[in-house]
Structure 1
Amino acid sequence: MDKVNNFELGIIGCGNMAKAILSGIFSSGFLKPHQVTAYDVNPETAAATEYEFNIRMAGDLTNLTLNTAKLLVSVKPKDVGAVTDSIKNVFAPGKNTIISIAAGVPAGFYEKKLNAKAPVIRVMPNTPVLVNKGIAVISKGKYADKEDLEFAVKVFAGLGEYVIVDEKLQNAATAISGSGPAYFFLIFKLLVEAACDLGIKIEDANKLVLDTMEGSAEMLKKFNSDAGHLIKMVASPGGTTEAALDIFMKKQLDKIIKAAVNGAFNRAEKIQDKILHGD
């Protein structure tokens, strides 16, 4: 079958996440620069992206859509409507597929705005993809096929890990992996502050906490994420760790964390509902 598009991947929006994706797909060898084209509304950003990655920049979204098979939407959620308005007259299911990393924007939005049978892959990558240590949550819309899903997996495999879930779980995953890095950054910050309060120099505190977090993550991987077992390895009866854990439990840290995650999930649900149905 003859190719219906000149380019394999078209990227709409060239911010930090899009640049990380470009680095990942080129480093992994999945695509070559001549197979990718991109568009950004800011001429300076477009020129910088073209120079950095040696890819072709489209002059407008109509041209990009007509000549590209997979369209990766990498804009802020508030700007997605402008994107769909610009491409709705040329978007063609069977020729084009949307891969969306716009937070909170469901496949149903694109199906509604573009075409009732628009193929959509929804992806929620987290910020550690910027250092190739992220994880992407990938979901297939009702009209996307296996090839669409496999293409998206190959795009994000070069940025870390990925999981494939039903789209109805995207907001739950957002509350864990999407928002999760900020939770760990907060814990890091608080532990460093506690160390400094005890008289440890800031540079030493940063190293102590960071290396402890890295080492603990490696142990979780080695022991198949059996956190309960690992806690027992560290917490000797009557010891210092047990004293700290007792305070965590008395302060109901477990309930605080679950409430925080539920807060993130509920916010994601509201944002999605607003995007899909309006105010």
Structure 2
Amino acid sequence: MAKTVHTVAVVGAGKIGELVLSGLLRSGWPVDRLLATARRPSRAEDLTARYGVRVVDNLTAVAEAEVLAVAVKPQDAAALLDDIGPKVPADKLVISLCAGLPTTFFARRLPEGTPVVRVMTNTPALVDQAMTAISAGAHATGEHLALAEEMFSPLGATVRVPESQQDAVTALSGSGPAYFYLLVEAMIDAGILLGLPRQVAHELIVQTAIGSAVMLRDSGEHPVKLREAVTSPAGTTISAIRELEKHGVRAALLAALEAARDRARELATQAD
């Protein structure tokens, strides 16, 4: 925790905004230094009941918070910024959690010189295992990036990347958990096909996924070497890998991530 705790307002506390709120609270961020905005009164009541945060309107958030974490849907960002933009002081840090939207999108709608930091995190933030990529806009300084890291590092790991790489980050890690869940779902189904009870198949695959991920993180080995260590000559694993390659799994993943990257770029175009 920094010596000075800034007041943070999560503007548009939907799924991603709630991840940020809950993560900051778990990290020890004082609840009286957190604000949220929500479109529906029922959502506001739910956030206050669950987290004790004060839910305010957008202009109050602008007036009271030192950091605005904008977490609205990309298609709603232009209307939001048209509304609050003229009221945002040029020295207030704006953190964008809007998938696909470049910092220039914000710069055009905020006072000249407003620092903007673009952030892409993912849903494992719920268990403090997120991967968060952080990029500086034209007027963001190292101090602004450090503040963003302070906010998001309790949610998991952080990395600084050039903003030109953020659409790729969105495709790889922002959407990444869904790919793993799909793979696990398919492997559980395969276990059932092979005669295992669903719960046993689930337990086997989930623990295998956790163990494999920890080995990837902690061993320092390239994934090829770890895969080769499991792949004996003429064994069961190489037979399975041959089928995966025959069905184009690697090519499908490459195409899927390119599609996700392209969709992130489309979101920016549509939001304008």
Give the alignment's TM-score, normalised by structure 1.
0.90
Query: Does structure 2 conserve the Cα–Cα contact (< 8 Å) formed by 1:122 and 1:167?
Result: yes
Alignment of 1:66-85 (within 5 A): 66-85=63-82
State the distance in 1 between where 2:155 and 2:240 align: 36
Deviating more after overlay: 217-226 vs 47-56: 47-56
1:93 aligns with 2:76: no
The residue identity in structure 1 corresponding to 2:39 is V
Percent of aligned pairs sharing the same letter: 33
Alignment of 1:5-44 (within 5 A): 8-29=7-28, 31-44=29-42
Give the alignment's TM-score, normalised by structure 2.
0.93
Aligned length: 268
State the distance in 2 between where 1:208 and 1:147 align: 45
1:268, distance to aligned residue in structure 2 (A): 1.3
The residue identity in structure 2 corresponding to 1:162 is T
Mark the CA change 1:57 to 1:252 in structure 2 (over 3 Å): closer, same or farther. Answer: closer
State the distance in 1 between where 2:162 and 2:265 align: 15
State the distance in 1 between where 2:150 and 2:89 align: 23
Alignment of 1:1-279 (within 5 A): 8-29=7-28, 31-58=29-56, 60-94=57-91, 96-275=92-271, 278=272
Query: Does structure 2 conserve the Cα–Cα contact (< 8 Å) formed by 1:125 and 1:136?
Result: yes
State the distance in 2 between where 1:72 and 1:212 align: 36
| 1:67-119 deviations in Å (ceiling 9; x for gaps) | 2211011111121122112212211212x111111111211111011234221
Give 3-state SS (helix, strand or coil) of 1:122's partner: strand
The residue identity in structure 2 corresponding to 1:112 is R
Give 3-state SS (helix, strand or coil) of 2:7's partner: strand
| 1:202-259 deviations in Å (ceiling 9; x for gaps) | 1111111111111111111222141111111111001010111122223332222111
State the distance in 1 between where 2:185 and 2:6 align: 44
Give 3-state SS (helix, strand or coil) of 2:157's partner: strand
State the distance in 1 between where 2:150 and 2:108 align: 27
The residue identity in structure 2 corresponding to 1:255 is A
Q: Which runs of 5+ in 2 are unaligned?
A: none
State the distance in 2 between where 1:25 and 1:239 align: 48
* Residue equivalent to 1:3: none
| 1:149-207 deviations in Å (ceiling 9; x for gaps) | 11111111111111110111000011100111111111111111111111111111111
State the distance in 1 between where 2:22 and 2:257 align: 31
CA-based RMSD of the aligned residues comes to 1.7
Query: Does structure 2 conserve the Cα–Cα contact (< 8 Å) formed by 1:7 and 1:37?
Result: no
| 1:9-59 deviations in Å (ceiling 9; x for gaps) | 111122232222222222222x3111222222212222222233223332x
Give 3-state SS (helix, strand or coil) of 2:200's partner: helix
| 1:99-144 deviations in Å (ceiling 9; x for gaps) | 1111112111110112342211111111111222111111111111
Query: Does structure 2 conserve the Cα–Cα contact (< 8 Å) formed by 1:38 and 1:57?
Result: yes
State the distance in 2 between where 1:106 and 1:150 align: 19
Give 3-state SS (helix, strand or coil) of 1:14's partner: coil
Query: Does structure 2 conserve the Cα–Cα contact (< 8 Å) formed by 1:106 and 1:272?
Result: yes
> After the TM superposition, which parts of structure 1 deviate over 6 Å for at least 4 consecutive aligned residues?
none
Query: Does structure 2 conserve the Cα–Cα contact (< 8 Å) formed by 1:123 and 1:138?
Result: yes
Deviating more after overlay: 10-19 vs 228-237: 10-19
Q: Which runs of 5+ in 1 are unaligned?
A: 1-5
The residue identity in structure 2 corresponding to 1:20 is L
